[in-house]
Amino acid sequence: MSHGARITLWAALVAVPPIVLAIVAWLVRLPVDRVGAIAVVAVLAWSAYAMWQLRAATSAPLRTTAALLQGLREGNFSVRARGDAAHDDVGALLGEYNALATWLQARRLSDVEASALLATVMSELESAVLAFDGAHVLRLANPAAARLLARPVEALLGQSATSLGCEALLQTWAPGLVSLDFPGGSGRWEVRHSSFRQDGLAHHLVVLHDVSRALREEERLAWRRLIRVLSHELNNSLTPITSIANSLGRFVARADMDEASREDVQRGLGVIEARADALNRFLKGYATLARLPAPVLREVPLAPLVARVAALQPAEGLRVDEGPAVSVRADPDQLEHLLINLVRNGLDAVQQTGGRVRVEWATQPSGDLELRVVDEGPGVVAGADVFVPFFTTKPGGTGIGLALCRQIADAHGWQVTLENRDDAPGCIARLRMPAAQAA
């Protein structure tokens, strides 16, 4: 029997004695006056009423408690019960419910705050965080991982490690430095592994930290120190060489010698002076790497800036394919200088082939903005690090153009790469700007 049926049965048994007495009296036809009849009816009515009230008083608190517990199960922790009192049985039960609801509400608030803090920390991390389940399916990714894989977080979740190109990361748990190529960037990465359990299932956590920028910064500091030393030592020698060459030139002009000898000496002194000036300009060019100021950021419309750069390069083979109307948060002077170097590098490359150069930009699925300078030149020699200072493949080149481009990009938090084209001969220079800086 159900609890309600048992309560109804016991309440009915309370009314059985007077009902039986009334039935017996009626059957044996006991003499009953009017007052007695009224009393019997009153007893029967009171018994029925007492039976109903007993059942209601017993079942109503249970139904109320069940409704309150259903609210807790559905996540509603704000409802409180009235009538909780320690000296009353039902009140004690409701008091325990109120205490449980208060505790659960505090725990949920703590969990929400902890989840919000975790989400904020994950979004601010520069390291890519990826969590895979036992079937190597991605279950968690932060914005840095989305930028690295060039897709929104929502599009990444539920994808297999193989489809994301991350299967190799799950083959070994040994930490270390590896060279990896992703849609959103390439370089040297520090890989760390860990594990955790969620819903009772084991998950594999992979953290990727890009050390390329830190290594380039250390390399850049070393180049700066080297350039300062070279500039100081060579300038100490070039200044007196130039001065002596000028003095000897004036002395030869007044000296008593034949004209042919005078011309030979003056020509030799002119070569010395010209080479000293050229070497001085060469050093001044490299000094810009050591004296690049910090960028002054502001909103810069991209289309007018690209048009201005194209106007500075009067070449028939240069074409601009305009993309979306966007602005970037950048130092306009440094960004313009970066684009000038990329476009000029492309134009120099197509002089050997008679090809064309195209400048374009588009928004990526991850929300990043990517500007591309595409040329139809001979391409980059395999294995050549064109961003290293002093490295150049052009006759008479100084080797500072692309190095300066990378330094400007790193100062803005951008990424600049140069790669050979897959569809045709030539190169693609990519400048990728994070979504937080594209508007």
pLDDT in tens, 214-250: 766 676 676 667 666 666 666 667 777 777 777 777 7
Burial class (CB in 10 A: 0-12, 13-18, 19+), 44: middle
Query: For residue 285, what are the CA distances in angstroms to 210, 291, 390, 391, 404?
Result: 30, 10, 11, 14, 10
Q: Domains along the chain? A: 3-107 (no CATH), 125-210 (3.30.450.20), 215-290 (1.20.58), 298-437 (3.30.565.10)
Q: How far apart are CA 251 and CA 183, in angstroms?
A: 66
Nearest to 328 by CA among 438, 415, 244, 416: 438
Nearest to 173 by CA among 223, 233, 132: 132
The answer to whether the CB of 346 falls within 8 A of the CB of 315 is no
Query: For residue 299, what are the CA distances in angstroms to 109, 216, 320, 329, 330?
Result: 39, 27, 21, 5, 7
In the chain, what percentage of residues exceed pLDDT 90?
A: 4
Q: Could you tell me the end-to-end alpha-carbon distance of the chain, in angstroms, rounded to an integer?
A: 69
Q: What is the pLDDT of residue 371?
A: 92
The answer to whether the CB of 359 falls within 8 A of the CB of 375 is no
Pairing of the two strands 318-321 and 357-363: parallel
Q: How far apart are CA 395 and CA 382, in angstroms?
A: 19
Query: For residue 433, what are the CA distances in angstroms to 89, 195, 214, 254, 415?
Result: 67, 32, 18, 63, 7
Nearest to 213 by CA among 138, 144, 140, 302: 144
Q: What residues form DSSP beta bridges with 208?
A: 128, 191
The distance of Cα 413 from the centroid of its chain, to the nearest Å, equals 13
Q: How far apart are CA 357 and CA 310, in angstroms?
A: 11
Burial class (CB in 10 A: 0-12, 13-18, 19+), 224: middle
Q: How far apart are CA 439 and CA 308, in angstroms?
A: 20
Consecutive 10-residue averages of pLDDT for the chain (439 residues): 60 66 65 62 72 73 83 84 71 83 88 82 83 89 84 86 83 74 75 83 86 70 68 69 77 74 77 73 63 82 89 82 89 88 88 88 83 88 60 57 82 85 87 66
Q: Which residue has the tokens 């330094």?
A: 407
Counts of helices then strands in the chain (DSSP H, E): 11, 12
Q: What is the pLDDT of residue 268?
A: 80
Q: What is the pLDDT of residue 161?
A: 87
